Amino acid sequence: MKTPNQYLASLPTTIFTIMSQLAVKHGAINLGQGFPDTEGPQDIIQVAEEALRDGRNQYAPLTGLPELREAVAASNRRFYGLEVDPATEVVVTSGATEALAACLMAVVEPGDEVVVIEPLYDTYLPALKLLGAVPRCVRLAPPHWSVPEAELRAAFGPKTKAIMLNSPMNPSGKVFVREELELIAELVREHDAYAICDEVYEHLTFHVKHLPLMTLPGMRERCMRIGSAGKSFSLTGWKVGYVTAPAALASVVAKAHQVMVFATAPNLQRAVAYGLNKDDSYYQGLSTQMKTQRDLLRDGLHRLGFETLPADGSYFIVADISRHAAGRNDVEFARWLVEHAGVATIPVSAFYDPQGDAAPQNLIRFAFCKKPEILQEALKRLEKALS
Ligand code: PMP
Ligand code: GLN
């Protein structure tokens, strides 16, 4: 028999699934895969429930329900002063994961180079490679994750079609600041490239406000900005994402969506539209709550002798395991923790190109989108196992 696609066949199961399965097996607290342990807002869920009963359960429009596209446009205006035409510049997708693939499909041809920044989210490289694009990885170095200007410049060239930028960034918790974005914008303009901006954690920042690359000069027509209801409303299972892009690009993103999914669940779209229109206090409440949980976990990890890296956004914090690992690398230590401490985490080396230079092996990621009492219990378990 002829072989199936060799690249996909050789791709390991995602580390998020592996660690979640181990968490179940060992009865561990799951601070690995990033999902909140509380339901999203009840009023949003209520709207979804009611929307199932109002006779609109057939295919939604290809680019999304008008009320959701309008809500996406309105939140672009409210939070970032971006004027967006809901009819032509918004595409609703089945999660940011689909949005990322659709945006890539919309711009890359086989052989095009795409600049990506490590540590990177686990779907970026496979999606790129399946399209025949060539990744050009630039590494941010811990503990500060600052952008290496010379290396970034060198990664851009005549074949560069796009850069993928994740800010706030998973797993590092880094929020790109204006200066860094200006450098990226300069390179994108200079090389006549596009930017695929993964901004799923846009509302989860704790110190500096999130700044979309799209708001910088010359970037409005080159950026595809991706949001996720899963992250903004703590409803990760819903898989509703949205792309904001100039009409010329959005229409091509819509074609990719047409080929892969066509339309996203209408009741969930209705509820997400309602959610996006919630007042500012909802969004402030979400980030305040996450910050409280981050502080709780970070301070607890410090008491246990872990150094942590700055976590300014997303719901992840990275800890250095050197003091406790006793010679184990991050993968071995994460496995040991889930088995012996009953706490699941994610080894940060999973966020690096497996074909690239050796990844750091002394870092693990904790998710803090969990109830304070659960974080306390996890800290107690860690203390017991490490003492
Ligand atoms: N990008 C990043 C950086 C993420 O952390 C996630 C969360 N899993 C996604 C994209 C995918 O989001 P969604 O669940 O909406 O597909
Ligand atoms: N984005 C989530 C994380 O980083 C996981 C998503 C997934 O399991 N695919 O933990």
The domain containing residue 30 runs over which residues? 6-40+281-386
Q: Residue 130 domain-assigned?
A: yes
> Which of 16, 235, 345, 365 most suits a substitution to test ligand 2, by most atoms within 8 Å of the C-beta?
16
- Is residue 227 domain-shared with residue 166, that is, in the same domain? yes
Cα 140 from chain centre? 17
- Is residue 269 domain-shared with residue 290, that is, in the same domain? no
Q: Residue 1 domain-assigned?
A: no
Phi-psi category of 274—alpha, beta or left, where left has phi over 0 and alpha has psi -120 to 50? alpha
Summarised one tens digit per residue, pLDDT across range 157-169 is 999 999 999 999 9
In 3D, which of 222, 356, 226, 369 has the Cα closest to residue 289? 369
CATH number of the domain enclosing 12: 3.90.1150.10
Summarised one tens digit per residue, pLDDT across range 48-71 is 999 999 988 999 999 999 999 999
Summarised one tens digit per residue, pLDDT across range 267-285 is 999 999 999 999 999 999 9
In 3D, which of 335, 235, 297, 237 has the Cα closest to residue 19? 335
- Whose C-alpha lies nearest to ligand 2, atom 8? 16
At residue 162, φ and ψ (nearest 5 deg) are: -160, 165
CA 303 to ligand 1 center in whole angstroms: 31
Contact 16 CB / ligand 2 (< 6 Å): yes
Q: Residue 49 domain-assigned?
A: no
CATH number of the domain enclosing 106: 3.40.640.10
- Is residue 213 domain-shared with residue 299, that is, in the same domain? no
Contact 230 CB / ligand 2 (< 6 Å): no
Which of the ligands is closest to the CA of residue 98? 1
Q: Residue 45 domain-assigned?
A: no
pLDDT-derived band at 258 (thresholds 50, 70, 90) equals: very high
pLDDT-derived band at 383 (thresholds 50, 70, 90) equals: very high
CA 96 to ligand 1 center in whole angstroms: 5
Which of the ligands is closest to the CA of residue 229? 1
pLDDT-derived band at 239 (thresholds 50, 70, 90) equals: very high
Point out the domain boundary residue: 279, 305, 327. 279
- Is residue 206 domain-shared with residue 103, that is, in the same domain? yes
Cα–Cα distance measured from residue 15 to residue 169, given in angstroms and rounded to the nearest whole number: 17
**What is the pLDDT at residue 328?**
96
Summarised one tens digit per residue, pLDDT across range 129-146 is 999 999 999 999 999 999
Point out the domain boundary residue: 222, 249, 279. 279
- Is residue 114 domain-shared with residue 191, that is, in the same domain? yes
- Is residue 257 domain-shared with residue 288, that is, in the same domain? no
CA 214 to ligand 2 center in whole angstroms: 25
- Is residue 27 domain-shared with residue 142, that is, in the same domain? no
**What is the pLDDT at residue 62?**
98
- Is residue 285 domain-shared with residue 247, that is, in the same domain? no
Cα–Cα distance measured from residue 74 to residue 224, given in angstroms and rounded to the nearest whole number: 17
Mean pLDDT of the chain: 97
**What is the pLDDT at residue 139?**
97
> Which of 125, 170, 203, 233 most suits a substitution to test ligand 1, by most atoms within 8 Å of the C-beta?
170
Name residues contacting ligand 1 (CB within 6 A): 95-97, 121, 166, 170, 198, 200, 228, 230, 236, 239, 241
Contact 79 CB / ligand 2 (< 6 Å): no
Contact 14 CB / ligand 2 (< 6 Å): yes
pLDDT-derived band at 289 (thresholds 50, 70, 90) equals: very high
- Is residue 103 domain-shared with residue 239, that is, in the same domain? yes
- Is residue 187 domain-shared with residue 312, that is, in the same domain? no
Summarised one tens digit per residue, pLDDT across range 315-336 is 999 999 999 999 999 999 999 9
Whole-model pTM above 0.95?
yes
How do strand 194-198 and strand 223-228 relate by DSSP bridges? parallel
Contact 166 CB / ligand 2 (< 6 Å): no
User: Is the distance from CB of 61 to CB of 92 less than 8 angstroms?
Assistant: no
Q: Residue 46 domain-assigned?
A: no
If one counts the domains in the chain, the total is: 2
**What is the pLDDT at residue 83?**
98
CA 34 to ligand 2 center in whole angstroms: 5
- Is residue 259 domain-shared with residue 342, that is, in the same domain? no
Residue type, position 236, single letter: T
Contact 314 CB / ligand 2 (< 6 Å): no
CA 336 to ligand 1 center in whole angstroms: 27
CA atoms within 13 A on the CB side of 158: 0
- Is residue 79 domain-shared with residue 202, that is, in the same domain? yes
- Whose C-alpha lies nearest to ligand 2, atom 4? 34
**What is the pLDDT at residue 204?**
98
CA 189 to ligand 1 center in whole angstroms: 27
- Whose C-alpha lies nearest to ligand 1, atom 5? 170
CA 191 to ligand 1 center in whole angstroms: 28
Which of the ligands is closest to the CA of residue 200? 1
Q: Residue 51 domain-assigned?
A: no
Point out the domain boundary residue: 279, 312, 327. 279
Summarised one tens digit per residue, pLDDT across range 78-131 is 999 999 999 999 999 999 999 999 999 999 999 999 999 999 999 999 999 999
Contact 30 CB / ligand 2 (< 6 Å): no
Residue type, position 73, single letter: A
Q: Residue 50 domain-assigned?
A: no
Q: Residue 65 domain-assigned?
A: yes
Atom nearest to 169 CA in ligand 1: 3
How do strand 241-244 and strand 90-93 relate by DSSP bridges? antiparallel
